[in-house]
Amino acid sequence: MTDYDPLALIAAARDASKHAYAPYSNFAVGAAVLLSDGSMITGANFENASYGLTLCAETVALGTVSSQGRLRDVVAIGVIGGRIGHADAAPVSPCGRCRQVINEAAQLSGRDVTVHCGGATGDMVATYRLSELLPAAFGPRDLGLI
């Protein structure tokens, strides 16, 4: 699947961010993963009082994709973020950990997954290939699994 609307991914990520549990950072993040059949799986960040246990939106969404046995079907991901109650429009990109998690799906799928990044509000979108965000990535290929 190559024909899709990146703005639909961003809109789904924005909708997902409304369910963010972010009482510590007050920074809501939403993610929407596009699968090869055109379906989307969303996730929102889920913070924890023990900060290291916090789950990013991308990880929540990709964990759901994995639990459905669909990691090889990942085509693209939309990510948005911003301070709760503010009109943050600057695009937010995945953190390093999330880039590595996205890479797992990318290597399994054989695709250089497209990552669309937006802010909590506005029309500004930055688009990258995962290889731009995480060059020389380590993954299943390095372990001889694919």
What would the two tokens of residue 40 be?
């989307």
Residue of 69, 63, 55 whose CA lies nearest to 33:
63
Tens digits of per-residue pLDDT, 22-73?
Answer: 999 999 999 999 999 999 999 999 999 999 999 999 999 999 999 999 999 9
- 58 an active-site residue? yes
- Catalytic residue of the set 47, 58, 104, 132: 58
Give residue 2's pLDDT. 67
Backbone dihedral angles phi then psi of residue 14, each to the nearest 5 degrees: -65, -45
State yes or no: pLDDT of 127 exceeds 90: yes
Mean pLDDT of the chain: 96
- Rounded CA-CA distance 17/83 in Å is 11
The one-letter amino acid at 63: G
pLDDT above 90 as % of the chain: 96
Residue 92 vs residues 34, 101, 110: alpha-carbon distances, Å: 18, 17, 25
pLDDT (tens digit per residue) in 74-118: 999 999 999 999 999 999 999 999 999 999 999 999 999 999 999
Q: What is the pTM of this model?
A: 0.95
- Give the domains, in start order, of the chain with CATH numbers: 6-127 (3.40.140.10)
Q: What is the pLDDT of residue 114?
A: 98
Measured CA to CA, the distance from residue 24 to residue 11 in angstroms comes to 25
